[in-house]
C-alpha cells in the first residue's frame, strides 16, 4: 500500500510557521523536503529532510503510532540539518504486507534509507519503538552512527505492562467523530496536555473515511495487537540489551519524567549500561511533541561540538 495516495493535495507543511513560533525560532524557516527511498519488497520509506540538501547531522525515529512530522517543532528548535523518517507502516511510508513491525524489521528498512540519505556520520535518536529500532541500526552501521540517543524506552519495556497505556490508546478505539474527541482521549491517556500541539499532531496523523468518521493513518491502528504484544514473551525486546552493550559509540537514555519508564527500568538500564548516562526531562512520553525546545537543547548539547552548540 502506498500512503502517498491518501494525502491528495495536502499541504503537509502548513503547521511549520506555527511550530517555529512555538519554539521561539527567530531564523527563517529551513527548506524541508519530502524524500522517499525504495526498500525491500517494492515498498518505499518516506521522510522529511530539514535544511535540504545539506547532509543530516541528526536522524530521528518516532514511536509507534506517530509519524515524521511529530518531530517538526523539535527539529526547528534544533536548528541543524536533520532527517526525520516515517517508520514502515506510518506516515507516508508503505505498509508491510505481513503487518510485522518488530524493531529488527523496521531497522532493516531504516538502514537502507540511511545508506541513501545520510552520507556522513550522524547522531541517531529514537523515541519509544523507534528507539529500539535505532539500537539495531547503530549495530548494523557502526561507521555511520556516532551517538545513540534513546528517548523514554529501554529493551526492558513490556508491551502489555509499562507500555500498556500507549498500546491501549492506539488500539483501544479505532474511529472517532472529531479531532477534539481524539485530543480529549490523548489527554486522558497522558499522551500530552497542550491541546494546540495535540490537535496539530492528530490532524497530521488521521484521515476521514467515506462514512465521515476519522481513523489513524498508520497501520498499527488497523491491527489486533502491537509488535511483540502477543508472542507470549513478557520481555520481547530483552535481546536488544546485549546489542546496546556492545556498541562502541556513546549511548544516552533520555527519560521522560512522566513517561513510561519507572524507577525499576531506569535501574535496569544502569545495571546493563553503567557507563551510559540517563537524562531526565520534564514531560510525558512523547517528549518531542510536548517539550520540543527542551529536548532539542538536550540533544544539541550531546551531539554537537561546543562551538556549534552555543551558536
pLDDT per residue, tens digit, the chain (311 aa), is 433 334 434 689 999 999 999 999 999 999 999 999 999 999 999 999 999 999 999 999 999 999 999 999 999 999 999 999 999 999 999 999 999 999 999 999 999 999 999 999 999 999 999 999 999 999 999 999 999 999 999 999 987 666 677 778 888 898 999 999 999 998 898 887 889 988 999 999 999 999 999 999 999 988 876 665 556 677 899 999 999 999 999 999 999 999 999 999 999 999 999 999 999 999 989 999 999 999 999 999 997 654 344 44
Residue 86 makes CB contacts below 8 A (sequence gap 6+) with 45, 46, 47, 62, 67, 68, 92, 93
Tell me the pLDDT tens digit for each residue of 7-16.
Answer: 434 689 999 9
Is the CB of residue 189 less than 8 Å from the CB of residue 292? Answer: no
Kindly write down the DSSP assignment for every residue of 228-265, as one continuous string: TSSSS-S-TTTTHHHHHHH-SS-EEEEEEEESS--HHH
Domain-located, residue 226: no
Domain-located, residue 183: no
Q: What is the pTM of this model?
A: 0.91
Strand 58-61 relative to strand 82-85: parallel, antiparallel, unpaired? parallel
Domain-located, residue 188: no
SS3 state at 15: coil
Greatest CA separation found in the chain? 55
Domain-located, residue 195: no
Domain-located, residue 175: no
Q: Which domain holds residue 24?
A: 3-155+234-309
Strands (E), 26-134: 32-38, 44-50, 58-61, 82-85, 122-127
Task: Please state, as a whole number, how many other Cβ atoms lie within 10 Å of the Cβ of residue 86.
Answer: 27
Q: For the chain, what is the domain count? A: 1
CATH number at residue 100: 3.40.50.1820
Domain-located, residue 285: yes
Vertex 228: Cα angle to 171 and 131 (nearest 5) = 90
Is the CB of residue 237 less than 8 Å from the CB of residue 268? Answer: no
Residue 88 makes CB contacts below 8 A (sequence gap 6+) with 39, 43, 45, 94, 95, 96, 101, 105, 106, 109
308 torsion bin: left (phi>0), alpha (psi -120 to 50), beta (else): alpha
Domain-located, residue 168: no
Domain-located, residue 77: yes
Residue 131 makes CB contacts below 8 A (sequence gap 6+) with 61, 63, 125, 150, 151, 152, 153
Amino acid at each position: 500500500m502506498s500512503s502517498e495516495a491518501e494525502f491528495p493535495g495536502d499541504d503537509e507543511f502548513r503547521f511549520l510557521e506555527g511550530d517555529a513560533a512555538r519554539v521561539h525560532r527567530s531564523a527563517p524557516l529551513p527548506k524541508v523536503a519530502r524524500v522517499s527511498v525504495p526498500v525491500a519488497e517494492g515498498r518505499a520509506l518516506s521522510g522529511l529532510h530539514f535544511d535540504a540538501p545539506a547532509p543530516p547531522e541528526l536522524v530521528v525515529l518516532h514511536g509507534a503510532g506517530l509519524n515524521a512530522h511529530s518531530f517538526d517543532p523539535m527539529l526547528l528548535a534544533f536548528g541543524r540539518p536533520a532527517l526525520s523518517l516515517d517508520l514502515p507502516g506510518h506516515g507516508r511510508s508503505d505498509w508491510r504486507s505481513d503487518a510485522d513491525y518488530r524493531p529488527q524489521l523496521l531497522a532493516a528498512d531504516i538502514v537502507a534509507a540511511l545508506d541513501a540519505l545520510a552520507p556522513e556520520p550522524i547522531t541517531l535518536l529514537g523515541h519509544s519503538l523507534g528507539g529500539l529500532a535505532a539500537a539495531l541500526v547503530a549495530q548494523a552501521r557502526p561507521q555511520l552512527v556516532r551517538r545513540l540517543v534513546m528517548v523514554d524506552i529501554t529493551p526492558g519495556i513490556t508491551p502489555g505492562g509499562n507500555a500498556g497505556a500507549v498500546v491501549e490508546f492506539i488500539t483501544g478505539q479505532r474511529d472517532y467523530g472529531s479531532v477534539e474527541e481524539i485530543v480529549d482521549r490523548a489527554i486522558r491517556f497522558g499522551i500530552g496536555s497542550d491541546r494546540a500541539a495535540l490537535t496539530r499532531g492528530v490532524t497530521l496523523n488521521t484521515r476521514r473515511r467515506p462514512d465521515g468518521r476519522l481513523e489513524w493513518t498508520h497501520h498499527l491502528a488497523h491491527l489486533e495487537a502491537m509488535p511483540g504484544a502477543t508472542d507470549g514473551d513478557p520481555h520481547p525486546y530483552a535481546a536488544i540489551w546485549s546489542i546496546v552493550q556492545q556498541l562502541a559509540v556513546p549511548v544516552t537514555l533520555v527519560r521522560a519524567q512522566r513517561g513510561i519508564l519507572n524507577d525499576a527500568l531506569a535501574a535496569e538500564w544502569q545495571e546493563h549500561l553503567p557507563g551510559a548516562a540517563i537524562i531526565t526531562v520534564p514531560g510525558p512520553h512523547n517528549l518531542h511533541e510536548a517539550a520540543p525546545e527542551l529536548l532539542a537543547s538536550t540533544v544539541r548539547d550531546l551531539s554537537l561540538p561546543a562551538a556549534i552548540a552555543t551558536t
